[in-house]
Structure 1
Amino acid sequence: MNGYDFTLAGADLQVRGSGALYWPARRLLCVSDLHLGKSERMARRGGTALPPYETQDTLSRLDAELAATTPEIVVCLGDSFDDAAAADALPDRDRLWISRLQAGRRWVWIEGNHDPGPVDLGGTHLNELPMHPLVFRHIAQPAQSGEISGHYHPKASLTAKGRTITRPCFLIDGDRVILPAFGTYTGGLRCHDVVLTDLMRDEALAVLTGPFPAPIPMPR
């Protein structure tokens, strides 16, 4: 899968078309907002019934990224589970799958607003992860430099040859990167929403996910 290479705070990083971020020098793969167990959580709360396959699809795509990049460190950037009960309700086959993905690697679960507490699934649970010159956290904070975050599920549209496509996207400027949601059953926030335009600098780029990720000026 092709990627888009860029530098943040002196660290050379790569946007992956899958929605993952790779830091080659540290052999670190970062994904955000997996929202595993969303179909179970919605059914439990009497919401719209969704096909119960989103966890397997998300884990399958994550498995492919691990195979492609062979990282030593994996950072899941918060909201890895749709809520704490969804983590507890994962079937054994999915828990075993996660254990297999973790084997031989440092695995970090960053605290999100959907999953603030530790989960009994191996790895380390942290509020945020400083790793010079970067810091990994779930929700972006103002006046930061070298920040990697998620939470907002950004998406953008691109029109070419009379056809408009809308996809999850990375937002990148000189201070931070906001990752798209990696999970299968996740919505998105348009780039021109004031929450995102207030966070990102005027020169910010949006990189749409897909087979050929390429930067465009962040839609505003």
Structure 2
Amino acid sequence: MVPFSFAGEEWRLLPSGALFWPRENALLVADLHLEKGSFFARFGQMIPPYDSRETLERVALAVRQSGARRVFCLGDSFHDNAGAQRLEPHAAGMLAALTRATDWAWITGNHDEGLRPGQGGTLVREIQTGGVILRHHARTGETAPELSGHFHPRLRLSVRGRNIVRPCAVASENRLVLPAFGAFTGGMDAADPAILSALQPALRIRALLATKDKVAEFPLWVAA
């Protein structure tokens, strides 16, 4: 975990895309998209049905690495409203163990806005804790500290003549968009106008990428 400062707080960004908040002893993840594979299988795309297992294994590892006692899922945790009912027994058992072991909150997103209680944890549309608003979609014009997901930002880099793409966080002065955490998720260019617009007003916007020993920053936009 690599420490960095944001909105007057210390945070730790994991290479997996999870965010740890030491003061609140909380782990934040966005866009798990559990049961995306089984969703597409219903329409004839026979994708191996193990994406939920892999995603939940990654969540469990992040909880162990951080020692978090609270977990906030920032929306689109399931790929659709019926995803929780399609979890196969092994994945369902993993999820049940995680929600029993932590103070777990599901923040609903556009994919799972009709999610119903029953998968453990607390279900909310958004929440404010420790002076920070947690929601799925960044709200244009928001001036309070805010953490969100939704956009699945990715950063394209050229390294030693090779083009690589990595999930990244995108931050303004007091607002942060987390990358998608799910094992089966696509992404949007971090400098896409939709992301830059959602984080206004801002003086500058940058991509954050956790490396071995630091959080690397890459400028995306600066106010004229």
User: Does TM, scored on the shorter chain, surpass 0.5?
Assistant: yes
| Structure-1 separation of matches of 2:33 and 2:129 | 24
Q: What SS does structure 1 have at the residue aligned with 2:164? A: strand
Partner of 1:105: 102
Q: Is this contact kept in 1: 2:210–2:216, CA < 8 A?
A: no
SS in 2 for 1:103: helix
1:206 paired residue number = 207
Q: Unaligned regions of 5+ residues in structure 2, if any?
A: none
Q: For the residues of structure 2 that align with 1:125 and 1:42, how far apart are their CA atoms?
A: 25
Moved over 3 A (4+): 209-213
Tell me the amino acid that sits aligned with residue 187 of structure 2. G
Structure 2: distance between partners of 1:63 and 1:56: 10
CA distance in structure 2 between the partners assigned to 1:56 and 1:213 by the alignment? 29
User: Number of matched residues?
Assistant: 217
CA distance in structure 2 between the aligned counterparts of 1:94 and 1:74, rounded to whole angstroms: 18
Change beyond 3 A, Cα 1:209–1:13: closer
Aligned to 1:175: 174
Task: Give the Cα–Cα distance (whole angstroms) in 1 for the partners of residues 87 and 106 of structure 2.
Answer: 16
Q: Which amino acid aligns with 2:146?
A: E
User: Does the C-alpha gap of structure 1 residues 83 and 209 become closer, same or farther in structure 2, counting only changes over 3 Å?
Assistant: farther
What is residue 93 of structure 2 aligned with on the other side?
A: 96
Counterpart for residue 33 of structure 2 = 35
User: Secondary structure of the residue that 2:57 maps to in structure 1?
Assistant: helix
Alignment of 1:51-200 (within 5 A): 51-116=48-113, 117-144=115-142, 145-200=144-199
Secondary structure (helix, strand or coil) at the match of 1:151 reads: coil
Task: Indicate the percent of aligned positions where both proteins have the same amino acid.
Answer: 34
Q: Is contact 1:31-1:182 (8 Å) kept?
A: yes
Measure, in 2, the Cα distance between the counterparts of 1:187 and 1:101. 25
Change beyond 3 A, Cα 1:50–1:211: farther
Q: Given that residues 205 and 220 in structure 2 are in contact (C-alpha distance below 8 angstroms), is that contact kept between their aligned partners in structure 1?
A: no
Unaligned runs of at least 5 residues, structure 1: none
Residue type of the alignment partner of 1:93:
H
SS in 2 for 1:5: strand
**What's the offset of the Cα at 1:209?**
5.1
Letter in structure 2 aligned against 1:96:
G
Secondary structure (helix, strand or coil) at the match of 2:61 reads helix
Residue 95 (structure 1) shift? 1.3
- Distance in 1 of aligned mates of 2:77 and 2:171: 22
1:210/1:83 CA distance change after superposition, 3 Å: farther
Deviation readout 1:88-134 (Å, 9 max, x if unpaired): 11112211111111223210000111111224111000000101320
Distance 1:4 1:157 in 2: 23
**Which residue, 24, 33, 41 being the options, matches 2:22?**
24
Q: For residue 29 of structure 2, what is the amino acid of its counterpart? A: V
Give the AA of the match of 1:94: A
